[in-house]
Structure 1
Amino acid sequence: MPNRRHGLIGVYPIGVLISGLLLAGQACAAPPAAPPHAAPPGAKPTTVAPKPDAKPDPVANIAYLALVQKRVLPQSFLDQPPEDDGVQGARLGLADNITTGRFIHQAYHLEEALEPDADAVVAAFKKLVAQGYRAFVTDMPADLLLRLADLAEAKDATLLDATSTDDALRGEQCRRNVLHLLPSRAMLADALMQYLTIKNWRDILLVAGPNPEDKLYADALRKSARKFRLKIVADKPWTYDPGARRTDTGHYAIGAEVARFTQGIKYDVLVVADEGDNFGDDLGYRATDPRPVAGTQGLVPAAWARPFEQWGATQLQARFLKQAGRWMTERDYGAWMAVRALGEAATRGGSVEGAAMTAYLRKPEFELAAFKGARLSFRAWDGQLRQPVLLADARSLVSVSPQPGFLHETSELDTLGPDQPETTCHLK
């Protein structure tokens, strides 16, 4: 995928009142304070005639910095990985910020830098810092994110990690200048284990794939099972290669293997760790005993899900579908939350200056409304955005964690993932 850079800046007409902003009078718009850039594909041009002698609105400059990664094809052709995964969420967040900023004379500019390799990402980051950017929404692997965070140029910048779920980034590898938008693997595992607890599905068959990400997810599941006193009655690696999956009789071989794999084990639920979608969907309906499947397939704990419609989420789903021509993914949702968090910080903090916006994100009074029926905020001890976690399958929202009855002295949301006394993050 070629490198692409787009800049968007502007002001939308009054149409929506957000967060109770009821300011009387007609708001003014001014010419963009940043240089014009090419609009993203499908974007509608926006022109607003400036009022005579109107002063330009101050501009919040946000950078979207991503490593263009090769998307691994799933095991079926049902859901192909989108080319614009993540960045479309950032664009929708920008549109929402512009709508709000219209009322209080704040403008927003999103600079997109989608780079082909790690060195290009580092070079783009340094260039953007030199241009005055301090707020970065990032989409990249953990090792590259840490490389950026440790640069001298990043000392006064804040990286909003929009797509990573690595526990180490919130633990022993945490950085003071990094905030995390998506739930960590530990939070996802805790959300699932809470639900299994209230269902009294206490005996678990854990199946983990061979990839490093599968093993990290499985480790989070094991820790969470101990935390909630559930029993893993069998912990088995998946090593079967179906080979001719798409031959006329391929499904017979897979069915026979899953039946053999699960035979002789007494369990309540099969929990799978297969982040690459290599085999997890094959486990349902093929086990020797009829049992539900959960984890990375089946009943999935996630930040966002296609069938999610509660708390006004249908409105966000519809707006994204209209803009992008596809469903919103978790990566899109993480990028949308990151850009919206910066917009909320600018609105409530009263400043679009980069350092002021990012400093407000860390204040106790910061709150983000993200269509989850709760006010989200960043944990002071590891930079993680505390939030509810959805539990859904392909067609239905089943539940939302934290589950009823799991209490906490300050916030029930902190029952998901490491609490402050448990954290291995020591910010310097």
Structure 2
Amino acid sequence: MKQLARCAAGLVFGLMSLAAQAEVTLSAGYLKQGIEAPAVLSNLDPVPETQGVDGAQLGLADNQSSGRFLGHTYALEVAEIAPGGDLLAAARGLLTASPFLLLDAPAEDLLRVIDLPEAAGAMIFNVSAPDTRLRDADCRANLFHTLPSDAMRADALMQVLLRKRFARLALVAGEHAVDRAFADALRRSAQKFGLKLVGEREWRFDADMRRNASQEVPLFTQDLPEHDVLLVADETGDFGRYIAYNTWLPRPVAGSEGLVPVAWSRVVEQWGAAQLQSRFQKLTRRDMRDRDYAAWAAMRVLGEAVTRTNSADPATLRAYILSDAFELAGFKGRPMSFRTWNGQLRQPIPLVTDRAVVMQAPVEGFLHQRNELDTLGLDAPESRCTAFQE
């Protein structure tokens, strides 16, 4: 009889807990700033218009799936702003409705949004801007990054090149701002890991490389000193495709082309990644890209935090995701967590070609006193971010 009473009491307690959980509702916004894409030499690889948004929608579906059993409710409101549109007005509207915002915008626009009075106390996730400065001097206490920084990607590449004993590097960089930012990250990382950058060239061609690559590229690279690998910084996807197999010296290509450090790729298959790929393809009829993965991760961070805290209070969720208790299973073989000094999501970086994963960083043997993932990007002593210390 006592056992029956205890079971009844447990059932009542469980129902009461479920009722309490059912009151937890989290609605997030996704704000996407349209940009005028620069003209490139080839349009063979069009950028999906729904890139990023699709990843957030998959993250929403995953949250709803787990939330169904816990009584948690999730929603996502998407706002896309045309180039030149009123980004700040849209941001104010979304932040008035919810303190949780996924922001898909260039760094300067992102900072304009994060500094709005309406953003105070909000949790904003950067899902598209790789700029290292956003994790450094331009960081903000309520800004979290689920996309790897340029520094993280560059460090991942240098670890692999060092492991393979490619010590002498040459660099070809485009003239767009994103190309120069990635080139800067490659230079800093090469110095950090003791690799030698022996020569550089800036790409300034506007000719039709579909016809002229085999003549122009050898001449363009002829004067570069002897090197083991040619680094390419072409983040706009303009000229890099024409570099491989056309260089004066027969050398492997890495960076934006060839061996590429990424947040995500269709060729990642281990650690349950194939299952994530399959669900994304079923939802979108295309492969998941870096920005999709970052947006998916941001939604899953919120879902995981709500699940563990049974709260939708931004201060409570922020404290939890910055604690040692938080972990996100990101289908990359290691639990992912946030750096408490700049809000960057720690994560492994796959190094891929079009058809396979070559290696994943951090590479075995690169050790760290706290977390080996902190060998990628700005470690605490390197970061000038002070916002998270206030």
1:417 is displaced (CA, Å) by 0.8
Partner of 1:291: 251
Structure-to-structure mapping, 1:328-339, within 5 angstroms: 328-339=288-299
**Superposition deviation, residue 113 in structure 1:** 1.4
Secondary structure in 2 matching 1:338 = helix
Q: Does 1:195 align with 2:160?
A: yes
Question: Structure 2 CA distance, aligned partners of 1:113 and 1:396?
Answer: 35
1:260 to 206, 211, 219: 219
Q: 1:169 aligns with which of 125, 130, 134?
A: 134
Would you say the 8 A contact 2:21–2:71 is kept in 1? no
Other-structure match for 2:4: none
Which residue in 1 is equivalent to 2:355? Answer: 395
CA contact (8 A) 2:114 2:143 kept: yes
2:385 alignment partner, SS class: coil
What's the counterpart of residue 222 of structure 1? 187
CA distance in 1, matches of 2:174, 2:144: 29
Check conservation: 1:135, 1:159, Cα contact below 8 A: yes
- Structure 2 residue 205 is the aligned partner of structure 1 residue 205: no
Aligned-residue offset at 1:239: 1.8
Aligned-residue offset at 1:115:
1.9
Q: Give the counterpart letter for 2:220 in structure 1.
A: F
Matched residue type, 1:425: C
Q: Cα distance, 1:116 vs. partner?
A: 2.1
Shift of 1:118: 6.1
Q: What are the equivalent positions in structure 2 for 1:354-373 lying under 5 Å apart?
A: 354-373=314-333
Runs (4 or more) in structure 1 with deviation over 6 Å come to none
Pick aligned residue for 1:91 from 39, 57, 61 = 57
Residues 1:119 and 1:279: Cα distance change in structure 2 (over 3 Å): closer
Quote how far apart the aligned CAs of 1:156 are: 1.0
Asked if the contact 2:42/2:238 (under 8 Å) is kept, the reply is: no
Deviation at 1:224, TM superposition (A): 0.5
Q: 1:55 to 1:239 in 2, by over 3 A?
A: closer
The residue that corresponds to 1:324 in the other structure is: 284
Mark the CA change 1:420 to 1:118 in structure 2 (over 3 Å): closer, same or farther.
farther
Give the superposition deviation at 1:287. 1.1
Partner amino acid, structure 2, of 1:65: L
Q: Distance in 2 between matches of 1:263 and 1:128?
A: 53
Mapped partners of 1:109, 1:146: distance in 2:
25
Distance in 1 (alpha carbons) for counterparts of 2:358 and 2:299: 28
What is the Cα deviation at residue 78 of structure 1? 3.0
1:342–1:358 Cα contact (<8 Å) kept: no
Shift of 1:353: 3.3
Normalized per residue, which structure has more helix? 2
Shift of 1:350: 1.5
Which structure 2 residues correspond to residues 40-59 of structure 1 after superposition, within 5 A?
57-59=23-25
Per-residue Cα deviation, 1:16-69 (whole angstroms, up to 9, x for no partner): xxxxxxxx9xx99xxxxxxxxxxxxxxxxxxxxxxxx99965311111111123
Residues 1:64 and 2:30 are matched in the alignment: yes
**Please, which runs of 5 or more residues in structure 1 have no aligned partner?**
1-23, 29-52
Tell me if structure 2 keeps the 8 A contact 1:259–1:287. Answer: yes
**1:276 aligned residue (225, 228, 236):** 236
Q: Structure 1 vs Structure 2: percent identity of aligned residues?
A: 46
Given that residues 311 and 372 in structure 1 are in contact (C-alpha distance below 8 angstroms), is that contact kept between their aligned partners in structure 2? yes
Task: Choose which of 86, 111, 121 in structure 1 pairs with 2:87.
Answer: 121
**2:135 is the counterpart of 1:135:** no
Instruction: Give the match's secondary structure for 2:76.
Output: strand
Q: Who is 1:233 aligned against?
A: 198
Could you tell me how far apart the structure 2 residues matched to 1:294 and 1:147 are? 34
Structure 2: tracts of 5 or more residues without a match: 1-10
CA displacement 1:138-189 (0-9 Å, x = unmatched) = 1011111111111111111111111110011011111111000111001100
Whole-Å separation in 1 of the counterparts to 2:209 and 2:380: 46
- Report the aligned-residue RMSD: 2.1
1:72 offset after TM fit, Å? 4.8
User: How far apart, CA to CA, are the structure 2 residues paired with 1:209 and 1:117?
Assistant: 23
- Contact map agreement 2:29 2:77 (CA 8 A) in 1: yes
SS of 1:179 mapped into structure 2: strand
Change (3 A) 1:340 1:212: same
Helix, strand or coil: the match of 1:204?
Answer: strand
Q: TM-score, normalised by structure 1?
A: 0.83
Could you report, residue by residue, the CA deviation over 1:310-353 in whole angstroms, capped at 9, with x for unpaired residues? 11100011110010011111111110000010000000112133
